[in-house]
Every structure is written in C-alpha cells, then in structure tokens.
Structure 1
C-alpha cells in the first residue's frame, strides 16, 4: 500500500503527531510525506517527498497574529500549481492533517482522502467554542481543508468520530517527576515581552524554549533553551507546570503527565480560542492578556491546588485500523 500523508507545518504539533504515527503507518505500507507551510521549528526526521510554502502563520511581537504578513505571503497561483503537481492518483490512501493544498489537489484530481487530526474535531458542533463565535474562524475550521471523511482528536470525546490525543511514546512511557521548574513554550511571544515578568517571580525557575536561542544558558531564574524536542520532553516530564499557548498537543501531553497548565491562547487565533474554551471547562486557567500583573498571575496559579480530569492517550493501532476501515467505506 502507498500512503500519502500531508502535514500542515504552521506549528510543531502536526509534525510531532506525524512523527509518532510514522512507525505505525509503516506496518501498512510505504509512506510519503508532504510538508506544507514553514512555521515549524523542529528538526524533521521524516521522509519528506514533497514540500510547499503553502499558507503559514506570522506572529506579532507579543502574543498575536500578524494578518498583514500572513496575507502578503499567500501566493494563490503557486498554491494551485503545487496542488496540481501532487501525484495523488498514485496513492492508495491520502491522509490530510489540515492542509489546504492537499484538499484542493484531491478535488482537482478527483481522489478520496481522510482528514486525521485536531482540526477535524471542529466539524462537530459539540466541540467547545468560545462564548463569542467567529464567523470567519468557523469558516476556516470547516472549509480550509475539507475531506469526505473526518477523524478528530481532542481532549475529550465530544462526538462519535473524536478520539483521544496522540501522545508521544516518550511521554506515555515516562515516569513524571517534579524538579520544581516551570516549562515555558510560547512561540508567539518575543523574549522581551515576558522576561521581566518571569524575573519578578525570582523564587521560580523557568525553562524557556525560545526560537532564536542557539545554546542552553541561564540568566538569573531563567534557563533559555533552543527549541528541541528531546530537551523539551525532558523538561516537561520533570516540571511542576507549564505555561504554553492555546494549542492542542502540548497541553494534552502536560495533562496526561498530570502537570499544572497555564494557557495563553494566541490573540485572534480562533482555533486556540476554541481550545482555551475546552481547557477552561476542564479547570485549566486561561490568560488572554499578559500585562504588568502577569508575575502575580503565575504565583497565584502555582499556589492554587487544582485537580484536572485524567487525560487518555490515543490507542494508535486501533485508530489507524479504524481510519483504514473508514477509508474503504
């Protein structure tokens, strides 16, 4: 069997999920990956056969999206060209993790696909949304990368086709410890947006994974790390808690490890606002604006006892078998 797997590289979560799934997919046949977008910072250890700049996210300085940079970097003519060039008719199964180019290519070439990933869960109206819905956000979630079949992944089973998150083997097999540091991963924030707030909480040590850092070093109560999957996993497994965005994979892994989570969703990023709504229902504190009192927010968060619901890990062999069976229907 020949399998085509499209990865939306607007962040590291999609790549992390594909990396975890790859050895399981190899049991079914040969897998070729298509990488669409250029936001990811992880070292990719997958057989990437096709690439496209696709549609990528661009961030403002302190926790928001830069829509001007996003729009000006979209090249519609190139997107159509890239879609037309994908040889999808040569594959038996096409897996799409929220990539618009692959979805367009399927339509142009009249081939079947299945959307497997977190965004597929938003096809269901039962999946949590913020109090104020965004019409544009809903349109993007439902029509950016449509597929006739959808298998969603989310924190809880909000609908029949939604399954638990795919947790990396390193996390599932880990024995969590608490070395009292706080892990930080906030790719939409520049260093100078949060550094002073972290310094104010001088009795707390932070492991801050930050793009642009070339080597690990410590200044005061902050140890700066390059974005590195292995080091991040080690920090997460041994932390007291994590401060992260409103993504899906990182909060899911932290909750699986029973770590404290403080979420700061990217401003005007509708999917992250939806995730934040789901996290709030689970008891996870969410901060929408980081101001002068952020240091106090961190202290209060650490001093408050919370019990989050248990997070299940996806049974990957069962999920893939379900996916392949669904694909044939």
Structure 2
C-alpha cells in the first residue's frame, strides 16, 4: 500500500518513533513522510532518502519550562481558523500522492485531510493514554482534551506505552545494534532552560561523572547504551529507551505537563526509577537515587501492565494486519471493521 505517515512536531519522541518504524514499514509498503518543520532536520539526518512532505503543527505554549495548558487550548482554537484551508490543501496532496492509508502519530492535520477524501486513518501515539489515567486533578482533564484534539479522527487507534498501552515501547534499531555497558557515568538529557537549576547540584557531588545531552558532538544513543543511569525529563520515548536498556532513571517532568508527570509517576511505580515533582526537591532525591541504583536496576517484580521490552516488531505486525484488512475487498457479509478485527 501507499502510506502517508505523519507525526507531531512537539518534542522528538514522535519523530523518534517514526525513525524507528520507517525501515520496517518500507519492507512492506511505499511510505511518504508528512512532517512539521520543527522535526524535519531530525528526521532528514536519520532518514536521508525518505520522501518528505511538509505539514503544519500545533504547539504547546510554555512559560520557561512549564506548559500552560489553558493558554495552549485557546491558542489552538485561534490556530483552528487556519485549520480547514490547511487540511483542504493536504487532502489534495494525498490524492495527488495516491495515498491509500494514513498512519498518524499525534498529528490531527493529516487524519482530517484523509477524512475529506475517504482515506482510512490509523492513529498511533503515547500521549492519548492519559485518558485512561484521569484523576481529580483538573490538569489531567485539560491534557485529555488536548490529546483528543491532537489525535484527530481515526478508524483504528493504538497507544504505545511502557505502561497500560496496547503496544509496549518502540526503539530504534540503531540503539539496539551495539552492546549495552555500564561505564559509571550519568547520561543527563535536559532542555537548556532546565540546566541552570540542575547542573550545579550534580557538580556539587564529589566524584560524580556525567555527560550532558544534547551537546555538540555528543551521541545520546552511545550515552544511553553505556551509562550507569539516566537523568531526564518525563518524555515517554527517552524513558522507554532507558527502561528497555535496563538503565535506572531519575525523571524530572516538565512542570504543568500532565502527561510527563504521569510518565514519571508510572516510572516510579515500576520500581525502575524515581521522580522529582519540583526541581527544588532534587537535592534530597538525588543522593537517594544514586544510592539505590543496583536496586532500581534489578527490581524484584515487574508490576502488571508494564512492558520493558522493545515492541517494534509487534507494532509492525499489528499495523500490517490492519493495513492488509483495509487493502482487502470487503464482502457483502463482512464489514471492513470486522475484517480488521479478524486480521488483528
């Protein structure tokens, strides 16, 4: 089949999953990537031969390192004024490219464009899982609303997650291609705006060695494979990669980002890491984290609903089954949705 594959432009987790899946999908399908400018350089550097189209994207409104969900919702509503012309343009591009199915990772533009021209949509993402973990905290409900808007329409949906998902974590082949070692340094993966509060605490610990990412010339894949533990935010992809590689994680979720807080909370519940709600607590939690690395690396049990193995091939199999069902003529006695259920 000819597939259009789109992803969100916020962060690099969605684009990272695209990179992880692209070569496998190409074995079975013709794949065109529809990506926002914010991740185009990242994707092009890793998939230089991929056919690429540009799409708009919604973004989160932030104040320093904090996501402001209410402002994000209102900003998105204003941006929606330009939404219909954009999806009309994209629908014409889908027809021109002879696309038969759309695979979307948390991008609403291409799914709505596909709806206009009757192309089936498979939605595959992680953030939508927050709707399965709603609490009394109003931020989780706002985050669930944002997730609902970002998923757009779909005929089939798969949530990818190391906890409670339809599919477990998905890693890039390149990350798994070399041996995993413990070279006694921390891999510290932080946004620039977070570093001024965190790095002085690390520098104050005698004998502590860490490597900072992203940084010029630094290879984060190598750092993940060879570190003793990871300090990062609450982004799902990095947490998943660390967990699959057996690296304990100290997660410092972005303030106000309900999905990252959920990821970090579930990381701690898994027994493979700790979390810090407020960076001001880091001075107390960091020594406890460093003292608990062996215990976190080898927890006694795996809680129900958690997955710590690469599920890339499982996801490819599920996607191929769904796509094959859409590619098969529907009989008079079986609906397309019934055919998909049988295939999957």
Q: Which runs of 5+ in 1 are unaligned?
A: 217-224, 226-230
Q: Which runs of 5+ in 2 are unaligned?
A: 328-339
The 5 A counterparts of 1:1-329 are 1-36=1-36, 38=38, 42=42, 44=44, 45-46=46-47, 47=50, 49-61=52-64, 63-65=65-67, 75-86=79-90, 87-89=93-95, 90-122=98-130, 125=132, 128-129=133-134, 132=137, 134-146=140-152, 147-156=154-163, 158=164, 162-187=166-191, 189-210=193-214, 213=215, 215-216=216-217, 225=218, 231-283=219-271, 284-291=273-280, 293-304=281-292, 305-306=295-296, 307-308=298-299, 309=302, 311-316=308-313, 317-325=316-324, 327=326, 329=340
Alpha-carbon spacing, 1:108–1:248, altered in 2? closer, same or farther (3 Å): same
8 Å contact 2:7–2:14 — kept in the other structure?
yes
8 Å contact 1:65–1:269 — kept in the other structure?
yes
Answer with 93-102 or 143-152: which moved more.
Answer: 143-152
For these two proteins, the number of residue pairs brought into alignment is: 305
Alpha-carbon spacing, 1:150–1:167, altered in 2? closer, same or farther (3 Å): same
What is the CA-CA distance between 1:174 and the residue it aligns to? 3.1
Give the whole-Å Cα distance in 1 for the aligned partners of 2:326 and 2:283. 49
8 Å contact 1:6–1:96 — kept in the other structure?
yes
8 Å contact 1:4–1:95 — kept in the other structure?
yes
Answer with 316-325 or 164-173: which moved more.
Answer: 316-325
What is the CA-CA distance between 1:257 and the residue it aligns to? 1.1
Give the whole-Å Cα distance in 2 for the aligned partners of 1:48 and 1:288. 41
Give the whole-Å Cα distance in 1 for the aligned partners of 2:101 and 2:128. 17
Answer with 86-95 or 69-78: which moved more.
Answer: 69-78
| SS of structure 1 residue aligned to 2:323 | helix
TM-score (ref. length: structure 1): 0.82
Q: Deviations over 1:235-255 (max 9, x none)?
A: 111101001111111111111
Q: Which has the higher helix share?
A: 2
Alpha-carbon spacing, 1:243–1:131, altered in 2? closer, same or farther (3 Å): farther
Alpha-carbon spacing, 1:265–1:131, altered in 2? closer, same or farther (3 Å): farther
Give the whole-Å Cα distance in 1 for the aligned partners of 2:155 and 2:101. 13
Answer with 21-30 or 140-149: which moved more.
Answer: 140-149
What is the CA-CA distance between 1:194 and the residue it aligns to? 2.0
Give the whole-Å Cα distance in 2 for the aligned partners of 1:274 and 1:40. 28
8 Å contact 1:12–1:41 — kept in the other structure?
no
Answer with 14-23 or 199-208: which moved more.
Answer: 199-208
8 Å contact 2:5–2:31 — kept in the other structure?
yes
Alpha-carbon spacing, 1:18–1:243, altered in 2? closer, same or farther (3 Å): same
Alpha-carbon spacing, 1:138–1:184, altered in 2? closer, same or farther (3 Å): same
Q: Deviations over 1:113-168 (max 9, x none)?
A: 01022235456x3xx45663522112222342231210121114x36xx0111111
Give the whole-Å Cα distance in 2 for the aligned partners of 1:14 and 1:113. 17
| SS of structure 1 residue aligned to 2:274 | coil
8 Å contact 1:2–1:29 — kept in the other structure?
yes
